[in-house]
Amino acid sequence: MKVQMWDGTDAWLFTRYDDVRAVLGDNRFSGNPATAGFPSLSAARNAVLDLEPAFIRMDPPQHGHFRRMLTKEFMIKRVSAMRPTIESIFDRLLDELLQKGPPANLVDDLFLPLTSEVIAGLLDVPSKDHGFFQEQSRLKVLLDVDPEVPKEASARILGYLDELITDREKDAEQREDLLSRLIVEQVRPGHLSHRELVVMAELLLMAGHETTANQMALGVYSFLSNPDQLELLRKDPSLVRNAVEEMLRLHTIVHYNAFRAALEDVEVAGQMIRKGEGVIALISGANHDAAAFPDPQKFDITRKADHHVAFSYGIHQCLGQPLARVELQVVFGTLFERIPMLRFAVPHEQVEGKGDHFVQGLQALPVTW
């Protein structure tokens, strides 16, 4: 069906699982916001999309050129080797949380520090700057604000990374972080410019902590709201992998991440989409399609949900999904074991969602034990 956007333009909306996959798997639909007809989500979001594009907003062949530079960095084998480090960071943060004592806000006190430290460690960003990135990332994904707010946040991040990478270029051969490897393997031979690496680094920082931290908070919310499912996990810890896929499906936190524009006339589900028309492949709709996931509103950690599209589908699906999965498995394989009496510190109806963010999540997750 057609829907009207905030600015009065129209776009085709697809919500069924098969239709969403059909759109996202078809390169005749462009993911480049500069394409004629690309849907507009809000003025603030437009301000972000008007900035220098990262490769996730490019079409082939440019998209593949840049994506391949990172593919090996996020292969399952390499990411799995990071698990002991992630476990060590999470255990330390839990120790600090328990020493401080209840109550706590798990978003700010545990999950953002965890995901920030993991991605910052991968890029070797100084720990003193983690708070800066958390705040700027939060500002950049706001949807209902003055467009200058996300634009200025992005400029601050890019400015910082420009200086960091300029400094890193002096001795990249002697370092082992991801940015240094990209400098040596891509920038030095001329495959990637300095500025393109700065933009790529911003994407990695943004995607590497804001999304996963919000997913962790929503996962805890789901378990505490469904004690029967928490009891299942306690009785059978091997269900943690299933549980992670189910919370990814249920919450689909980057729910607006599949806007497209038709590059030519394309038929989807019997509907002809004309060249230049906007399309929204609603991945949250697909993940709640009863034809693909029976009783889709139910949080069921025994469900086989790994065919979900929470990480999108097609060439633009999330490159960092192996890292997100490992982080989530570590958290939910440990949290309730270390804090068995964890519970809401307020009535769960008072826990507020992030209604004004590009990334779905919770404003705070107040808990006690």
The per-residue DSSP string of 5-36 comes to -TTS-EEEEE-SHHHHHHHHT-TTEE--TTST
Other residues' Cβ atoms within 10 Å of the Cβ of residue 122: 21
Q: What local confidence, expressed as pLDDT, does residue 310 receive?
A: 96
Helix (H) / strand (E) containing 334: helix 321-338
Tokens 């804001």 found at: 210
Strand partners, 105: 366
Count of domains observed in the chain: 1
Q: Among 363, 360, 362, 357, which residue's Cα sits nearest to residue 143?
A: 357
Q: Among 259, 194, 199, 253, which residue's Cα sits nearest to residue 221?
A: 253
- Tell me the mean pLDDT per 10 residues along the chain, length 369: 95 98 98 96 91 93 96 93 97 98 96 93 89 88 92 95 97 96 98 97 85 95 98 98 98 90 97 98 97 98 97 94 97 98 95 84 96
Distance, CA of 291 to CA of 248 (rounded, Å): 18
Q: Is residue 326 part of a domain?
A: yes
Q: Which domain holds residue 120?
A: 2-359
Residues in Cβ contact with 20 at an 8 Å cutoff, skipping those fewer than 6 apart: 14, 258, 281, 282, 283, 285, 286, 309, 313
Q: What local confidence, expressed as pLDDT, does residue 8 receive?
A: 96
Q: Is residue 368 part of a domain?
A: no
Q: Is residue 364 part of a domain?
A: no
Q: Is residue 284 part of a domain?
A: yes
Strands 343-344 and 278-281 turn out to be unpaired
DSSP state for residue 271 in the 8-state scheme: E
74: CATH: 1.10.630.10
Q: Is residue 367 part of a domain?
A: no
Q: Is residue 369 part of a domain?
A: no
Q: Is the pTM of this model over 0.85?
A: yes
Q: Is residue 317 part of a domain?
A: yes
Q: Among 94, 14, 96, 11, which residue's Cα sits nearest to residue 270?
A: 14
- Looking from the CA of 113 toward its CB, the CA atoms found within 13 Å total 14
